Structure 1
Amino acid sequence: MKLTTAAALLALSPLTEATKPPKLNDIAYANGGNRAFGLPGYAASVDFIYHEISKLKGFKTWKQDFPANFTQTLTAEVTVDDETFRTVALTYTPSTSEDGVTAELVHGPEGEAACDAANYEGLDVEGKVVLVERGLCPDGTTFAGKVKPAAAAGAQVVVIYNSDEAKLTAGTLSAPNPKEYVPTGLIDQDPGQALKARLDAGEKLEVFVKIIQTIETRVTQNVFAETKGGDGENVVMLGAHLDSVQAGPGINDDGSGTSLILETAKGLQHFSTKLKIRFGWWGAEENGLVGSRYYVNNLKTTDVDDLLAYLNFDMVSRGFFGVFDGTGEKVGPGGPPGSEVIEDLFREFFEKEKIEVTPVGLTGGTDYVPFREVIKKPVGGLFTGTGLEQDACYHQACDNITNPVPETLHINAKAAAHVLSKLAIDGVKLIPKTPSNTTVGSIKRIRIQDSADRVGCYRYCAMRALIMSLTQNIDTTLFDRDRASEVANTGRSGSVAVSSSALSRHPA
């Protein structure tokens, strides 16, 4: 039976205090301050999401086990002239010896030139420590692309300094590669620029570097929910990563996207859709998109053919209103054909709301990558930025419940509801496919107007209205409303003591 919008809303009963599970922020603070893959906080996050989606009507739910390389840094130190700098060991970096490395510090090529081994010709870096600035390389990486050329040129260690003022607490080389990588540490922008200035002035510097990191394989999970109804040969998928970095709770990154797609699924359960809709919560994203890569690489050919498009929501609660540039015409690179249609649908919503959009290039670093690069599917989504101005708590302990901007999260949730509602009804018309289920090379941009005289608009408008109404409470997935003021009083960088009553809400 299909419910009207009003009846559906009345049918929704809030969780009672006795049955309410802990939210993502509570989970993090109950498990060492994070929800990182391979640690108890991530396992509890999987349990929470699976508990929530298992209650949805009309959905099939499942988990997917996959192996991933777990890393934990034991020591990370870069010292020059008895001054030790704050140092982050990149995920999957090789370790130095227990005694560390003492060697001459030299500066590598500047900017993108450091991404090409040919630019090391004429530079004497053999057995030395190479200092380079973080930056995007043509291969889509900001770390690995700088390490490989230096290592190939004979560097014993690489020290990367950040390209902006953000105090990064994590960075990844995507996968272990001892043949092409050397021990690598990340330091902040200020000391990095100061060291470069001294080297440019002709000063000879000796540096001590010690990096010890354990790497082992652990099994973890992706989590999925999929509508039982809808055209199984045309699937629209929404995804967000469920894990945080080890440094903090990960409430903007990416508890915001996690909660956005969860609340969207809750709204969708009250309607039938023309297309099948699938939601995915990815594991080990912070370790190199491991969960989404595993999922895509293990899809059957028929499942690949059936997938129409993928929408990604990674960091959507503070910063600018970013929409991925599907065409690549604004900031590039773009996505496979059909990606521009998704971009247009998001822009349609923001233009109607008179909200300025920031175009975001599909440069990598989040879970749309395997969908775009491996199976060439149309991709799109939202992103609010990682820069200091957008999120000063990016990858830090202060990315807790005080970090998100509720209004930003709610607006992005409405934008997601707008796009999903249109794709769920008219996705095949908007993104046509060839008989082999590859997207047509040239797709005319189509904009559907919100008019009552359009066929199917009543169902589309009703569905969107319900999803939007539910996403008004999206922040409750991140934390309990009745505890928000209590935790906010601790300050953004303060620690939060989780009460025993909050812990007791976790279902057995």
Structure 2
Amino acid sequence: MKSPVTRSRGIAIATAAAFAVALIPVGAATAAPQLGCENRTNNTVAKMLECVDADGAMEHLEALQAIADANGGNRAAGLPGYEASVDYVVDTLEAAGWNVSIDMFDYDFIGASVLEQLTPLPAATYETGAFSGSGDGDVTADVVPVDINLTPPRASTSGCEAADFAGFPAGAIALIQRGSCNFGDKAFFAEQAGAVGVIIFNQGNTPDREGLIVADASSRTDGTPVTHGIPVVGASFAQGEALSQAGSTAHVFVPAPDPRPQRNVIAELPGKNDDNVVMAGAHLDSVQAGPGINDNGSGSASLLEIAQQMSKVKPENTVRLAWWGAEEDGLLGSAAYVAGLSQAEKDRIALYLNFDMVGSPNYIFMAYDGDESGFEAPVTVPEGSVQIEDLFESYYTSVGEPYDDAEFSGRSDYEAFILNGIPAGGLFTGAEVVKTADQQAIWGGVVDESYDQCYHAVCDTIDNINEHALDVNVDAIALAVLAYSYSTESVNGVVGKSIPGGLTLPAPAGPEGTGAGGGYDPGHAS
């Protein structure tokens, strides 16, 4: 358990016995209709949490579901469903009185890819997709496995070193197994060895690493960007096993990129101190396979609900909310946004809060591990991130919800912010990692099933949301955004203003230590 500490002016974290004077029990806001929320100024924690709830967020999720239904079943970047999602977010924010702007960024849309096994017979056509950073191409060639391991437990470093390709026949398609290094490394070394195409198949070492893997191969493990001149597609473990047979040949096709500039949505509520900006964001796009209602309609809808309920607040610090595009293609929208800021503009950002999947059906509650108590971060964690983690953990403690650490890995839209020294934090309820018996005993749900069995799938619909998890988290997000809108002193030392009505939270009870970690399969990890 973390030692009790007292944090900033306006945000007091007291002993574990002291409970929040301004909080109401989770679920109380949905017990009866709250009158006047649309007209009053929710400038205290009590008022804000009385009005913010899962019902409001669910209304936005229903709208996003309807958009997907009307646009081919998805809201993916480069397709009409995403454009309609952006329009919905803009209309909702403008109606609530926020200052809304559009941030454009370059984006190359990649259409449907093909993976066919031609020999040995019988021939088969497999579900696939192009990795981010893939080149285009249409190739038919022999399939050559590269240092793969099909024997349990299937530990694999396939394709992680140039030496793995010793003797590789130029002109063949490289069959590479997931594991140990970035996908960008695997495709890079394959191309250097003369491969005309790359098939990366899932590792098959755990239940969550059996299905089709399509992710980001646009960077090396050391962070170096890389663009490939050959097609790079994904496959499941079973498909990879079939393709590894002697005498395998395959046809791989990735269409040429189609430039389709995309939109981030940025909304501001001006504060008295415009040089101290509190940011919160969520990605708005889905994968092409489905409507993306948990991933990440849940985070997007939560911020929309908070924006509506907070619109009449006069904050001390400027509040800036963001809905990012093309996250599923490698965090492209957020990365482009931060890259486009001057150093002076970056310095104005006090902190960034990220909300990517906060209503998983078989959830566990997790906060990003800013203090690295559970997981060593692969990147330097900016000072102030620990205090953000503490705030979320104190809120969970105040409402009696156990929680765990989510690895602070830089695997969602906060990456660009922490790489530029901006303190960050956020919440997450898990994706394709399987829930353990220990976790089931703590959070309920179904053991040996993933936190979200519809992760990146057609079934990520409105029925894929756990409303209790969403209700807890939308309150936690609202509290954090409102609290920091008055004072970020605990995070960056900028003295603000005490929160009207006060805010006292207990010290964090401490993470459960179940090894939850990232709880999802990051786009550009091994």
Identify whether the pair has TM-score above 0.5, normalized to the shorter chain: yes
**After the TM superposition, which residues 329-368 of structure 1 pair with which residues of structure 2 at under 5 Å, given as runs?**
329-333=373-377, 335-368=381-414
Q: How many angstroms does 1:457 deviate by?
A: 4.9
Q: Distance in 2 between matches of 1:329 and 1:112?
A: 28
The 1:403/1:106 distance shift into structure 2, 3 A limit, reads: same
2:457 aligned partner? 396
Paired letter, 2:369: D
Aligned 8 A contact 1:372 1:379 in 2:
yes
Give the drift of 1:195: 5.7
Greater mean deviation of Cα atoms: 43-52 or 413-422:
413-422
1:308 Cα shift?
0.6
Unpaired stretches in structure 2, ≥5 consecutive residues = 1-21, 24-33, 41-50, 150-154, 220-224, 434-449, 506-526
Q: Which residue among 177, 181, 186 is the counterpart of 1:133?
A: 177
Structure 1, unpaired ranges of 5+: 199-203, 435-454, 465-508
TM-score norm. by structure 2 comes to: 0.73
Distance of 2:199 and 2:395 partners within structure 1: 43
Q: Which has the higher relative contact order, 1 or 2, with Cα contacts under 8 A spaced 6 or more apart? A: 2
Shift of 1:151: 2.2
2:301 maps to 1:262: no
Residue correspondence of structure 1 range 43-82 to structure 2 within 5 A: 43-57=83-97, 59-81=98-120, 82=122
Query: Match of 1:477?
Result: none
- 1:191 matched to 2:239: yes
Which residue matches 1:324? 368
Which residue is 1:380 aligned to? 425
1:95 to 2:136 alignment: yes
For residues 129-173 of structure 1, the C-alpha deviation after alignment (integer angstroms, 9 at most, x for no partner) is 332222352xxx4x2232212222333322211233464474233
**For the structure 1 residues 42 and 180, does the alpha-carbon distance in structure 2 shift closer, same or farther, using more than 3 Å as the test?**
closer
Q: For the Cα contact (< 8 Å) 1:346–1:415, is it kept in 2?
A: yes
CA distance in 2, matches of 1:195, 1:87: 13
Moved more, 81-90 or 213-222: 81-90
Classify 1:360/1:104 alpha carbon distance in 2 versus 1 (closer, same or farther; 3 Å): same
**In 2, Cα distance between equivalents of 1:227 and 1:307:** 14
The answer to whether structure 1 residue 413 and structure 2 residue 474 are counterparts is: yes
Which whole-Å CA distance do the structure 2 matches of 1:280 and 1:326 have between them?
21
Shift of 1:296: 0.6
Query: In 1, are the aligned partners of 2:115 and 2:250 still within 8 Å (CA)?
Result: no
Q: Does the CA contact (< 8 Å) of 1:168 and 1:395 recur in 2? A: no
* Structure 2 CA distance for partners of 1:174 and 1:244, relative to 1, 3 Å: farther
Alignment CA distance shift 1:236-1:133 (3 Å)? same
Distance 1:169 1:131, change over 3 A: closer
Instruction: Assess, with a 3 A threshold, how the Cα gap between structure 1 residues 301 and 212 changes in structure 2: closer, same or farther.
Output: closer
Give the distance between the partners of 2:156 and 2:145, measured in 1 at CA: 17
User: Structure 1 residues 51, 21: CA separation in 2 closer, same or farther (over 3 Å shift)?
Assistant: farther
The answer to whether the Cα contact below 8 Å between 1:384 and 1:390 also exists between their aligned partners in 2 is yes
1:101-141 Cα offsets, whole Å, 9 max, x none, are 2214223366573464344264535433332222352xxx4
Matched, 1:284 2:330: no
Shift of 1:67: 2.0
CA 1:21–1:121 in structure 2 vs 1: closer, same or farther (change >3 Å)? closer
Residue 36 of structure 1 and its aligned partner are, at CA, apart by: 1.3
Question: What residue is the counterpart of 1:172 in the other structure?
Answer: 216
**Map 1:438-449 → 2, pairs under 5 A:** none
Q: How far did 1:227 drift?
A: 0.9
SS of 2:195's equivalent? coil
Q: Which residue of 2 aligns with 1:486?
A: none
What's the C-alpha RMSD, in Å, of the aligned pairs? 3.3
Separation in 1 of the partners of 2:499 and 2:338?
33
Give distance in 2, aligned partners of 1:49 and 1:301.
28
Q: Deviations over 1:411-451 (max 9, x none)?
A: 111121232233222212433269xxxxxxxxxxxxxxxxx
**Contact 1:423/1:430 (8 A) holds in 2:** no
Label 1:461 to 1:186 Cα distance change in 2 as closer, same or farther (>3 A): same
| Partner Cα distance (2:179, 2:451) in 1 | 18
**Aligned partner letter, 1:157:** G
- Taking the TM superposition and a 5 Å limit, the aligned residue runs for 1:203-352 are 204-318=246-360, 319-333=363-377, 335-352=381-398
Give the whole-Å Cα distance in 1 for the aligned partners of 2:136 and 2:451: 33
What is the CA-CA distance between 1:180 and the residue it aligns to?
Answer: 4.0
Shift of 1:370: 1.0
Task: Give the fraction of aligned pairs with identical amino acids, expressed as a percent.
Answer: 32
Secondary structure at the residue paired with 2:107? strand
Bigger shift: 233-242 or 153-162?
153-162
Q: How does the TM-score come out when normalised to structure 1?
A: 0.75
Among candidates 482, 485, 495, match of residue 424 of structure 1 = 485
Task: Provide the secondary structure at the position in 1 that maps to 2:328.
Answer: helix
- Superposition deviation, residue 398 in structure 1: 1.0
CA distance in 2 between counterparts of 1:121 and 1:27 reads 46
1:80, CA displacement in angstroms? 4.6
**Inter-partner Cα distance in structure 2 for 1:244 and 1:408:** 20
- After superposition, where does 1:453-464 map in structure 2 within 5 Å? 456-461=498-503
- Secondary structure (helix, strand or coil) at the match of 1:149 reads helix
Amino acid at match of 1:399: D
